[in-house]
Amino acid sequence: MHALGSVPFGCTSCQGLTAPLPPRTRVRMTHRFSQRLDVVQPSATLAVSARAAALRAQGRTIYPFGVGEPDFDTPIHIRDAAKKALDAGATRYTAVTGTPELKKAIAASSAARRGAPCAPEQVVVGVGAKHSLFNLALALYEPGDEVICPAPYWVSYPEQVRLVGATAVCPETREEDGWLLTPETLQASLSPQTKAVILCTPSNPTGSAYGEKSLRALLEVLEAHDCWLVVDEIYADLVYDGFKQVSALTLAHRDGMKIRDRILVIDGVSKSYAMTGWRIGWSITPPAMAKALDVVQSQSTTNPAAVAQAAAVAALTGPQESIEAMRLRFAARRTRMVAGLGAIPGIRCRAPEGAFYAFADFRALLGKKAKNGPLTDDLAIATFLLEEAGCAAVPGSAFGAPGYLRFSYATSEENIDAGLAAAKAAVEKLG
């Protein structure tokens, strides 16, 4: 080591510097956050939930149509498995990408459901499906890349893309097309910079889902383009009215499509098994991608909680009757929600194929006068419904669809009926 401010003659490690170094200057640090956060918007769903909680704390009755979380308890056999796992010592680190038992269970479940081979080494278990999506963003996207996120989109898709410096391309879909991306719109949105396309089916926020014909048409477009297809299938078990859920992986494998090696599936136990708080999701990818995700996760969370992984094994390998029981309850609630929203003057609501969201058109209320002023946008409408009727719904602009509101029917029938009656009464009083 040399004394500060000087370099001796002939020091080979200093690349021939022979003059004294200038005195060290003190640099004042500005205490600001990373600029990457400047492009990210906070979650609108959590913002609505926070305001609703504040009103509830004041003694107000709040109808929880905001955050998408099943209101059912995690099935008892899953909870019992977690208790046994704790007693057996499931309190330590596991492999970064998940326990062998869970990865084997996920691979077997995926192969059975999707009719496509799946090996444990293709599985990376994350801290929820959102974490698995973020792992993909870190492993795949970089500045200069474009990622197609059809609107309406789940709020985190474009934000994760922007957070890693890539560009989110958000082509609009139309309600009259079932909120589905058409092959023509997809083709027009693709460019040499397209790194990936993200689809959610069934969808958050619209509840729309791609049938076999519409999904195959998109795959045929993507066959000719060298990009990844990320398919979020977290709501795949929750479909209604006889809708036939099909995975892109199923079609690509069955039809021998080249894109099958570029399909990345996101899934988890949160929605189907009412396990949101357990935070277990996963990705199913080609082995080389799984190794890249292992690298990413090893430097962030490491493994998900050992006891939660044991619970997920029980969910996938144990009795499955609870899924159908919840699905039937959601189906009944869907009917009530769509009918109740349609009874509000001026409001239209399409019946969704899946998930547990109704995406309603509230544009007829724009310009109407509430006691706090005119309803100028969907945020003002959502605020009005929360303050006047106690209905916590999420503005559609958060999902790229201004003028719409998302209502979750993952709540009791009593809440749905009472909340929508209160919303109807409030709207009828508008000037």
Confidence of residue 20 (pLDDT cuts 50, 70, 90): low
Pure H helices in 89-206? 100-114, 129-140, 156-163, 183-189
Residue-wise pLDDT tens digits, 125-165: 999 999 999 999 999 999 999 999 999 999 999 999 999 99
Confidence of residue 176 (pLDDT cuts 50, 70, 90): very high
- State the Cα angle at 74 between 71 and 76, rounded to 5°: 135
Residue-wise pLDDT tens digits, 312-331: 999 999 999 999 999 999 99
Residue 342: CA count within 13 A, CB half-sphere: 10
Give dist(CA 265, CA 281) in Å, integer.
11
Residue-wise pLDDT tens digits, 25-37: 555 555 678 888 8
Residue-wise pLDDT tens digits, 251-284: 999 999 999 999 999 999 999 999 999 999 999 9
What's the confidence (pLDDT) of residue 44?
Answer: 65
Confidence of residue 231 (pLDDT cuts 50, 70, 90): very high
Rounded alpha-carbon distances, angstroms, from residue 421 to 63, 295, 337, 356: 11, 51, 11, 20
Confidence of residue 14 (pLDDT cuts 50, 70, 90): very low
Residue 7 has pLDDT above 70, yes or no: no
Give dist(CA 161, CA 176) in Å, integer.
28
Strand partners, 7: none
Give dist(CA 129, CA 306) in Å, integer.
17
Residue 340 has pLDDT above 70, yes or no: yes
The Cβ of residue 417 has, within 10 Å, a number of other Cβ atoms equal to 15
Average pLDDT, the chain: 92
What's the confidence (pLDDT) of residue 36?
Answer: 86
SS3 content of the chain, % helix, strand, coil (to 5): 45, 15, 40
* One-letter amino acid for residue 191 of the chain: S
| Average pLDDT score over residue span 72-81 | 98
Give dist(CA 279, CA 269) in Å, integer.
8
Rounded alpha-carbon distances, angstroms, from residue 300 to 127, 222, 307: 11, 32, 19
Residue-wise pLDDT tens digits, 360-388: 999 999 999 999 899 999 999 999 999 99
Strand pairing class (228-232; 194-200): parallel
What's the confidence (pLDDT) of residue 8?
Answer: 36
Give dist(CA 380, CA 378) in Å, integer.
5
Determine what percent of the chain is predicted with pLDDT higher than 70: 92
What's the confidence (pLDDT) of residue 32?
Answer: 79
What does DSSP assign to residue 13? G
- Range with lowest mean pLDDT among 52-56, 88-92, 247-251, 299-303: 52-56
Who wins on pLDDT, 32 or 100?
100
Residue 75 has pLDDT above 70, yes or no: yes
Closest CA to 101 of 380, 321, 309, 376: 309
Residue 18 has pLDDT above 50, yes or no: no
- Kindly list the domain boundaries of the chain, sorted by start residue: 38-72+322-428, 76-318
Could you name the CATH architecture of 38-72+322-428?
Answer: Alpha-Beta Complex (3.90)
What does DSSP assign to residue 290? H
**Residue 219 CB contacts under 8 Å (≥ 6 apart), including other chains:** 229, 248, 251, 252, 257, 259
What's the confidence (pLDDT) of residue 250?
Answer: 98
Residue 46 has pLDDT above 90, yes or no: no
Give dist(CA 199, CA 15) in Å, integer.
53
Could you name the CATH architecture of 76-318?
Answer: 3-Layer(aba) Sandwich (3.40)
Global pTM? 0.91
Residue 23 has pLDDT above 90, yes or no: no
**Residue 354 CB contacts under 8 Å (≥ 6 apart), including other chains:** 201, 202, 203, 207, 208, 209, 235, 236, 238, 239, 240, 243, 245
| Average pLDDT score over residue span 210-235 | 98
| Average pLDDT score over residue span 20-48 | 69
Residue 416 has pLDDT above 50, yes or no: yes
* One-letter amino acid for residue 316 of the chain: L
Length of the chain equals: 431
Rounded alpha-carbon distances, angstroms, from residue 38 to 143, 357, 373: 15, 30, 30
